[in-house]
């Protein structure tokens, strides 16, 4: 959360002024993006309650399930509230930077300034990037390969912590970007969790953000270009991404942590905060306009989510007051909950065989009598 970041002060002057003057070229674009995101037409969040789940058992992400209820489906209409992006991210600091208001030069951190530098550079090259992505879209990459292409050309370009690792289980098994641009990929063990609870591999880890690709198995071949990742339609993938999001947040324990779900032309965001036991689920947001170009508003929203450590303001007290908690912690209970709290690990926990629910066929050799 921005509030918890060390408030490292900038060396006054040069870099601040340089970045600010480059930013002016995109001032209108950013103001429009912020206006768009203040409405319910782009991306909104709801709260998710887990009714049942297998998070207390040794279980890989691919077998994770949770029966959930969104607050939007609650019988009590007073519970059906949505959250907009500016309720979770610091729009004020962005406005102040654009307008050089509110003593902004003294308030911004180095990493916030770096984040702006990334955004500006991205906008400066957006046409070229759109073209690259469009060529890659024509090749119809699926699942984790498509996420790797977006990771290289979009997500990593926007990120302050742009260290990106692709899980070794990803479909193409290449050490270069699947699009053919020859950008080297860091491929490794992205597993996270603990063998006695939910665990498994995250497709991409980009600094403090997990990125999950829609699994190839779930694609409908004939309609892959127009397919919409509709709420409820791919429940199995949603179960998996909820499990991954919860584990990743428990692992980091730094407040409200987003996990990005990437599917074809859309992305969606889950955010979980273990302290409040609150789980937010966003609507889907399309990355491209009708002509196949990247949408500035979507890029801006992605930039905020990816750089949540710089801009996320965390759980608001009105979200807490609503009381629509995930209930994950009361469902899982101790001792499994203690594993989430203190024993999660990064690496070395790829789909381990279950030690709790391991099925073993019974062996009858020499042990039985036939009933008479
Ligand atoms: Zn590439």
Mean pLDDT along residues 197-209: 95
Tens digit of each residue's pLDDT (9 = 90 or more) over 7-29: 444 455 668 999 999 999 999 99
Residues 6+ apart with CB under 8 A from 60: 198, 199, 200, 351, 352
- pLDDT at 211 > cutoff 90: yes
- Ligand 1 center–CA 153 separation, angstroms: 6
> Domain locations in the chain?
2-346
Look at residues 81, 79, 67 and name the one whose alpha carbon lies nearest to residue 238. 67
* Pairing state between β 44-53 and 278-282: antiparallel
Mean pLDDT along residues 281-299: 94
- pLDDT at 79 > cutoff 80: yes
Tens digit of each residue's pLDDT (9 = 90 or more) over 312-331: 999 999 999 999 999 999 99
Residues 6+ apart with CB under 8 A from 177: 148, 149, 152, 153, 183, 184, 185
Query: Given this model, what pLDDT does residue 356 score?
Result: 43
C-alpha 50: how far from chain center: 19
- Ligand 1 center–CA 149 separation, angstroms: 5
The CA distance from 41 to 16, in Å, is: 33
- Given a contact cutoff of 8 angstroms between Cβ atoms, the answer to whether 209 and 259 are in contact is yes
Least confident of 101-105, 164-168, 353-357: 353-357
- Ligand 1 center–CA 154 separation, angstroms: 10
Query: Is the model more confident about 172 or about 146?
Result: 146
- Given a contact cutoff of 8 angstroms between Cβ atoms, the answer to whether 194 and 251 are in contact is no
- Ligand 1 center–CA 88 separation, angstroms: 32
- Ligand 1 center–CA 288 separation, angstroms: 17
Tens digit of each residue's pLDDT (9 = 90 or more) over 51-61: 999 999 999 99
pTM over 0.95: no
- Given a contact cutoff of 8 angstroms between Cβ atoms, the answer to whether 153 and 128 are in contact is no
- Ligand 1 center–CA 65 separation, angstroms: 34
Confidence of residue 372 (pLDDT cuts 50, 70, 90): low
Residues measured by CB to lie within 5 Å of ligand 1, the ion:
152, 177, 179, 181
- Ligand 1 center–CA 148 separation, angstroms: 8
Confidence of residue 171 (pLDDT cuts 50, 70, 90): confident
């Amino acid at each position: 959360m921005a509030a918890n970041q060390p408030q490292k002060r900038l060396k006054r002057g040069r870099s601040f002024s340089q970045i600010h003057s480059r930013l002016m070229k995109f001032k209108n674009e950013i103001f429009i993006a912020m206006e768009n995101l203040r409405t319910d037409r782009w991306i909104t969040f709801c709260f998710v309650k887990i009714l049942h789940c297998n998070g207390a058992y040794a279980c890989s992400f691919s077998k994770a399930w949770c029966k959930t209820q969104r607050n939007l489906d609650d019988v009590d209409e007073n519970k059906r509230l949505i959250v907009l992006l500016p309720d979770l991210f610091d729009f004020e600091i962005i406005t102040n930077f654009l307008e050089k208001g509110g003593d902004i030069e003294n308030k911004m951190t180095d990493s916030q300034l770096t984040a702006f530098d990334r955004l500006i550079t991205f906008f400066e090259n957006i046409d070229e990037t759109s073209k690259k992505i469009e060529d890659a879209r024509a090749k119809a990459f699926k699942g984790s390969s498509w996420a790797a292409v977006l990771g290289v050309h979009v997500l990593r370009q926007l990120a302050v912590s742009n260290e990106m690792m692709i899980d070794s289980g990803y479909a193409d098994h290449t050490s270069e970007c699947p699009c053919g641009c020859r950008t080297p990929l860091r491929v490794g063990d992205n597993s996270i969790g603990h063998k006695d609870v939910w665990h498994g591999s995250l497709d991409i880890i980009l600094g403090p953000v997990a990125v999950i690709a829609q699994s190839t198995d779930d694609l409908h071949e004939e309609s892959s270009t127009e397919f919409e990742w509709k709420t409820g339609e791919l429940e199995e993938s949603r179960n998996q991404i909820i499990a991954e999001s919860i584990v990743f947040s428990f692992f980091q324990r730094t407040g409200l942590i987003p996990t990005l779900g990437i599917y074809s032309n859309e992305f969606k965001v889950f955010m979980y905060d273990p302290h409040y036991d609150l789980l937010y689920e966003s609507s889907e947001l399309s990355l491209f306009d009708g002509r196949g170009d990247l949408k500035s508003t979507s890029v801006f929203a992605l930039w905020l989510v990816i750089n949540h450590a710089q801009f996320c303001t965390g759980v608001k007290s009105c979200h807490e007051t609503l009381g629509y908690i995930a209930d994950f912690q009361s469902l899982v209970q101790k001792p499994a909950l203690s594993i989430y709290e203190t024993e999660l690990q990064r690496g070395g926990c790829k789909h381990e065989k279950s030690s709790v629910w391991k099925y073993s066929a019974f062996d009858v050799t020499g042990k039985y009598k036939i009933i008479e």
